[in-house]
Amino acid sequence: MHYRRATTSGATYFFTVVTYQRQVVFDTSETISLLRHAFRAVKTNHPFSMDAIAILPDHLHCVWTLPPNDADFSMRWRLIKSAFSQSCPDRYKRYRSPARLRKQEQAIWQRRFWENQIRDERDLRQHMDYIHYNPVRHGLVNSPYAWPFSSFRQHVVRGYYDADWGAGDPVLFENSIGYE
């Protein structure tokens, strides 16, 4: 089966990126800081808007908007993964497959990522809700506000969410929203 990626310039996309074999990598302030640095470094030369993000121990979700006349999110992900892998402590490089050893690759990331082009404002809102609720969904915290590694608090300050959003009854999503 041949997967075809979306290629709409200037579009907004939802992404899920997973660590290799779901190893826990983003469990320290050190690795979170290294990932943030990788994002900033790539954005310097290849701009995009980070509309929402949640970094969990073994994966992350985010929404980006690319500049007009630019649809190359794959190159950006390759550069982000590479920058992080090069700066990542050796203890996270222990999981290697035989194929990766032959190619001298560091097995920190799954080779691919999942993307979905955002269709409209409703779709954007649902994906942003999914991102911000994901730490609660995984049992890491009881409310999105309690998770320090997401854009939720920034969105509260901007008035997009109330601070107690997602802290009560479970938030449900359509099957087409999100990807684990």
In tens, the pLDDT along 76-125 reads 999 999 999 988 866 655 555 555 454 545 688 988 888 999 999 999 99
Predicted confidence pLDDT, tens digits, the chain (180 residues): 455 667 788 999 999 999 998 999 999 999 999 999 999 999 999 999 999 999 999 999 999 999 999 999 999 999 999 999 988 866 655 555 555 454 545 688 988 888 999 999 999 999 999 999 999 999 999 999 999 999 999 999 999 999 999 998 888 888 778 666
Superfamily of domain 12-157: Transposase IS200-like (3.30.70.1290)
pLDDT at 4: 60
Indicate the helix (H) or strand (E) that contains 15.
strand 12-18
Environment class of 146 (CB within 10 Å of its CB; exposed 0-12, middle 13-18, buried 19+) = middle
Gyration radius of the chain's alpha carbons: 16
Q: How many helices (H) and strands (E) does the chain have?
A: 5, 4
Per-domain residue ranges of the chain? 12-157
